[in-house]
Amino acid sequence: MHSPRLMAEGLGLDDHAAFARLVQASDSDSMLRVNHYPPRPEPGQVATGFGEHTDPQIVSVLRSNATSGLEICLRDGTWAAVPADDAASFFVNAGDALQALTNGRVRSVRHRVMVSSARPRVSVVFFAGPPLRERLAPLPGLVDREGGRRRYRDFTWREYKTSAFRTKLAENRLGYFETTAAATS
Ligand SMILES: O=C(O)CCC(=O)C(=O)O
Ligand SMILES: [Fe+2]
């Protein structure tokens, strides 16, 4: 998988392996999920297939059976449909861990699945996560670019997951690790 390296390069980080190292560790907490959504209940009806959420890990790579349903939440709060992918495309999504590592520069975009298709949707998602023991902190180069403002405190991936499991899917699960506006440390 090349996207972690490309992201590090794109962010202008000196260490191009900053993310790749985390997701390629032999004990990385990565997983594959297969989602199956039955067709819409009735013509013209829309049902929630997967409630709104952000993905927790570093990056998610999704592929579907070219059936619509995936939507992302734009900055103004409106929802935009992601075009049903063809056989050649993947949908790459940043997760909460990447948002913390990049000090908020890359955002984990909220998404959901609304079922309105007459065909079932199947998606396969690879979630690339860091090892559970890994301590995640905003990368110093990206903190400097914010004038030293550090938006998230350090946390281990295990800590994030423990805290996330206690909350609802739709909550801002990274919010718990945000620093207050005044704190820099
Ligand atoms: O099935 C989809 O398109 C989205 C699935 C998803 O967001 C997830 O598994 O986290
Ligand atoms: Fe997701």
Q: How many CB atoms lie within 10 A of CB 56?
A: 20
List, as one string, the DSSP characters of 91-125.
EEEE-HHHHHHTTTSS----EEEEE--SS-EEEEE
Q: What angle do CA 32, 84, 51 make, to 5 degrees?
A: 60
pTM of the model: 0.93
CATH number for the domain harbouring residue 177: 2.60.120.330
Rounded-to-integer distance, Cα 114 and Cα 40, Å: 9
Which among 75, 22, 10, 79 is positioned nearest to 50, based on CA atoms?
A: 79
Mean pLDDT on 95-123:
96
Please count the structural domains in the chain: 1
Mean pLDDT on 20-49:
94
Q: Which residue range is the domain that position 152 belongs to?
A: 3-184
pLDDT recorded at residue 180:
79
Neighbours of ion ligand 2 (CB under 5 A): 55
pLDDT recorded at residue 62:
95
Mean pLDDT on 14-36:
94
pLDDT recorded at residue 118:
93
Tell me the pLDDT tens digit for each residue of 55-89.
999 999 999 999 999 999 999 999 999 988 776 78
Rounded to the nearest angstrom, the distance between the alpha carbon of 108 and the centre of ligand 2 is 10
- The ipTM (two decimal places) reads 0.99
**Could you identify the atom of ligand 1 that is nearest to the CA of residue 49?**
1
More confident call, 185 vs 139: 139
Q: Which amino acid is at 16?
A: H
Placement of tokens 């989602």 in the chain: 35
pLDDT recorded at residue 64:
93
Q: What angle do CA 120, 114, 85 make, to 5 degrees?
A: 60
Q: Active-site residue 158, yes or no?
A: no
Residues in the chain: 185
Mutate to test the pocket of ligand 1, among 32, 33, 34, 35 (most ligand atoms within 8 A of CB): 35
In this predicted structure, the answer to whether residue 1 has a pLDDT above a threshold of 70 is no
Which DSSP symbol is given to 30? -
